[in-house]
């Protein structure tokens, strides 16, 4: 629980409370406008409290995640995130990382002459940083 009272977390708590109070105040302001005859404000009357509930949900979720992390609880590696797995000597904490799958190009670079010519052009531009595209030796002027 000590981890929730660090300066960063205190700033998060204050920010969450300020946002919730601000959104509820804006909802009350829109309610007073709606009862005064502004019919468009009725939608905003209900929208601002929804924003406040969303901030409260995010704050609650972040607090729960921090508490689980400080207790040393991780999720099962099989993807069942509802079942916590305690870290033991036999089963260390698992860290989820994205799966990277190598992707092959649809056509090899050697099979496409246009692609090979373009790569040569880019290599020439890279080798001659001050050159203009028209200076390329293989440049063909546009027909007139």
Quick: pLDDT tens for 12-39. Answer: 999 999 999 999 999 999 999 999 999 9
Q: Residue 59: its pLDDT value, please?
A: 95
Cα–Cα distance measured from residue 16 to residue 10, given in angstroms and rounded to the nearest whole number:
10
Phi, psi of 83, deg, nearest 5: -105, 110
pTM of the model: 0.50
Average pLDDT over all residues of the chain: 81
pLDDT digits (tens, 9 = 90+) for 37-80: 999 999 999 999 999 999 999 999 999 999 888 887 655 455 55
CB distance 16 to 55 below 8 Å = yes
Q: Residue 129: its pLDDT value, please?
A: 85
Q: Which residues have CB under 8 Å from 27's CB, separation 6+?
A: 44, 45, 46, 47, 48, 49, 52
Cα–Cα distance measured from residue 76 to residue 87, given in angstroms and rounded to the nearest whole number:
11
CB distance 94 to 85 below 8 Å = yes
- pLDDT above 60 (res 81): no
Structural element, H or E, at residue 85: strand 84-86
Q: Residue 42: its pLDDT value, please?
A: 94
Structure confidence at residue 107 as a pLDDT band (50, 70, 90): low
């Amino acid at each position: 629980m000590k981890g929730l009272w660090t300066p960063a977390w205190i700033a998060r708590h204050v920010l969450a409370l300020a946002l919730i109070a601000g959104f509820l105040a804006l909802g009350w302001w829109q309610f007073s406008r709606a009862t005064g005859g502004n019919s468009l404000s009725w939608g905003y009357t209900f929208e601002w409290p929804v924003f406040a509930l969303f901030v409260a949900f995010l704050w609650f979720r972040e607090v729960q995640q921090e508490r689980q992390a400080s207790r040393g609880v991780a999720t099962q590696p099989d993807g069942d995130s509802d079942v916590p797995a305690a870290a033991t000597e036999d089963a260390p904490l698992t860290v989820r990382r994205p799966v990277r799958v190598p992707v092959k190009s649809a056509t090899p670079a050697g099979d496409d002459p246009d692609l090979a010519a373009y790569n040569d052009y880019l290599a020439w531009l890279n080798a001659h940083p001050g050159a203009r595209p028209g200076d390329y030796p293989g440049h063909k002027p546009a027909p007139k």
